[in-house]
Amino acid sequence: MKLFIRGVGLVTCLGSTLESFWGSINRGENGFRPFSSLTHLELNGCYCGKVNDFNPSDYYPEKALADADRSAALIAVATQSALRDSSIQVDPSRRDRIGISSGITLSIATSMSEFYESVLVNGPRRCKIAAFPNTVMNAPASRVAILEEITGANTTISSGINSGIDAIGLACLSISEGISDSVVCGGVEALSERILLGFAKRNLLTYGIDLAQSEVRCKTRLSPYESFIPSEGAVVFVIDEVNGMPHHRYCAIVGYSCTFSPDRIQVISKRSENVERTLRMAIEEAGIHLSDIGLTILSAGFDQFSYEASLVGLERVFGTQISQQPILYPKWFLGECGAVLGPQCILIAQGYFDEIFEEPVFQRINANMKWHCQLHKKNYVAIVHTDTSGHNSVMIVTSS
C-alpha cells in the first residue's frame, strides 16, 4: 500500500494553514486558553483549545450552513481548503469516484442534547425539525458531500481518539479495493459548554498548565498524563494513488493496522501485547525495518494506564534500541482533540520530513517522555494511538 496525500486543509487552535500550525509549535504556543462562561461559573478558568474568530460564512454562503452545527462547519471549511490544495476537480464525470471518510467522537452529543431538549421543552410540533439531521453521527460528512457535490462512498468512524486515523485507514482501504479513486478523509471535533460541563462533572478539566515545566493542575488527578485539555478543530486530507504530480509535496501512507483490547482488561502487560502486535502489523504492511523509523509519535488516552501500556508496547517492539528511538508525546500542544488528534500527528510528521522544526522544539514536545535522544532524519514515521476504550491504531507514513 502506498497512497499519496494530494491536499491538506485544517482549522485548529494552532492555526488554519500548515505554516501557522508549524509556526505555533516552533514558538512553543499551544492554543490553550482559559474558558469563560457567564452561565456556568464552574467552567471559568478551565483550559481548552478553542478555534477563535471562526466564521464559516467567509467560505460558504450563509444559507449553505444555516442549519449545520459547529462540527459540520469546521470540517466543511477544512474540506474546501483540502480540495483546492489538491487541484482535484469534483466534476460530474468523477464525483461518484470520490469518497468521504471522516472521524468524530463526542461533538455530536451537543447537537443531540440541544435537539432533544427543544423537543421536551417545546413539544414535537414546535421543535426545530431542520436541526434533526445534526443528531446523527455521520451528519458532518454528509453535509460536506452535499456542499461539495461528492457522491462516492461516504463513511463516518467513531473509535475514540483513534477515529481520525481509522477514518484515513478506511479511506486507504477504499482506494486499494477499487471503491474510490480519491478520498476526502480526516477528523473533526467541536467544543461546547455542554461537553465541557460533562467533563467538569467528572472532575477531568485542567485549571492550570505550565508547558515550560510540563506540569498541569487538575481538580482530582495528580498525574500529568491524566489531565484533560479539550480541544477542537478539523484536519482533512485528499488522498489517492497518483504519484508524480507536479505539485506533489506531502507524505505518503504506506502502512495501517488496528486492533482492540477489551477495556475490562486493565493489565499493562496484556494491553501492551496488542500495542506491540498492532505496530508490527503496520510495519509489515509498510515493508520496512524498525531501523527505518526515524520518529514515533505517541498518542495515548488521558489515563495513566493507556500511556504506560503504550510505552511498554513500544519497548517490546524496539527492545534495547528504545533509548535511541525519538518518541514524541504532543499532547501538551494538541490537547484532547479526539478525532483530530491523529490527522494533526500526520501534520507533525510532515513538518519532521520537511525539517520545519528545530531540535529544541522536539525536546519541548518530548518533555514528558522517559527517553531523551538525538533526532535523526529518516524516511518513515510511526503514529501510534492507544485509546482509553481499548482501541489501538498505528499508521506509517513516509516522505517519498
C-alpha cell at 148: 461539495
Burial state string for 87-115 with b = 16 or more CB within 10 A and e = fewer than 16: ebebeeeeeebbbbbbbbbbbbebbbebb
Half-sphere exposure of 394 (CA within 13 A, CB side): 28
Give the pLDDT band (50/70/90) at residue 147.
very high
Q: What is the mean pLDDT of residues 210-216?
A: 48
Over residues 163-201, the pLDDT tens digits come to 999 999 999 999 999 999 999 999 999 998 888 888 888
pLDDT value at 212 more than 80: no
Most confident of 92-96, 369-373, 392-396: 392-396
| Domains delineated in the chain | 8-240 (3.40.47.10), 252-398 (3.40.47.10)
pLDDT at 218: 41
pLDDT at 41: 77
pLDDT of 369: 56
Q: What's the chain's length in residues?
A: 400
Tell me: pLDDT of 217 over 80.
no
Q: How far apart are CA 207 and CA 192, in angstroms?
A: 17
Answer with the residue of higher pLDDT: 206 or 153. Answer: 153
- Position 208 scores a pLDDT of 65
pLDDT the model gives residue 326: 84
Mean pLDDT of the chain: 85
Report phi then psi at 372, rounded to 5: -125, 120
Q: At what angle do helices 139-148 and 70-86 cross, to 10 degrees?
A: 40
- Per-residue pLDDT band for 210 (boundaries 50, 70, 90) equals low
- Complete DSSP assignment for 348-380: HHHHHHTT-S-HHHHHHHTTTSS--------SE
- Residues 350-366 as b/e (b if ≥16 CB within 10 A, e otherwise) read bbbbeebbeeebbbbbb
Q: Tens of pLDDT along 285-324?
A: 999 999 899 889 988 766 778 888 888 999 999 998 888 8
CA distance 381 to 348: 10
Give CA–CA dist 300/389, Å, rounded: 11
Between the CA of residue 350 and those of 7, 202, 251, 379, what are the distances in Å? 12, 36, 6, 11
Q: What is the pLDDT of residue 221?
A: 43
Specify the pLDDT at position 365.
66
Give the rounded percent of residues in the chain with a pLDDT score beyond 90: 43
Across 278-285, average pLDDT: 95
Per-residue model confidence (pLDDT) at position 366: 63
* Residue 293 φ/ψ region, left for φ over 0, alpha for ψ in the -120 to 50 degree band, beta for the rest: beta
For residue 76, the model assigns a pLDDT of 95
Q: Is residue 334 pLDDT above 90, yes or no?
A: no
Question: Is pLDDT larger for residue 364 or for residue 284?
Answer: 284
pLDDT of residue 248: 59
* pTM to 2 decimal places: 0.91
Q: What span, in angstroms and rounded, lies between the C-alpha atoms of 181 and 83? A: 14
pLDDT for res 377: 78
* Rounded mean pLDDT, 144-152: 94
- Tell me the one-letter amino acid at 281: M
Q: What is the pLDDT of residues 98-113, one digit of tens each?
A: 999 999 998 888 888 8
Q: 342 forms bridges with which residues in the sheet?
A: none
Distance CA 79, CA 88 (A): 12
pLDDT digits (tens, 9 = 90+) for 353-377: 998 887 667 766 664 455 566 677 7
Residue 144 has pLDDT above 90, yes or no: yes
Q: Give the sheet arrangement for strand 3-12, strand by strand.
A: 154-157, 98-103, 182-189, 233-240, 3-12, 252-260, 391-398, 380-386, 293-300, 327-328
Average pLDDT for 265-292? 90
CA distances from 329 to 108, 136, 193 (A): 27, 32, 27
Residue 276 contacts residue 316 (beta carbons within 8 Å): yes
Average pLDDT estimate for 330-340 = 85
Asked if the model's pLDDT at residue 245 lies above 70, the reply is no
The arithmetic mean of pLDDT across residues 233-248, rounded, is 78
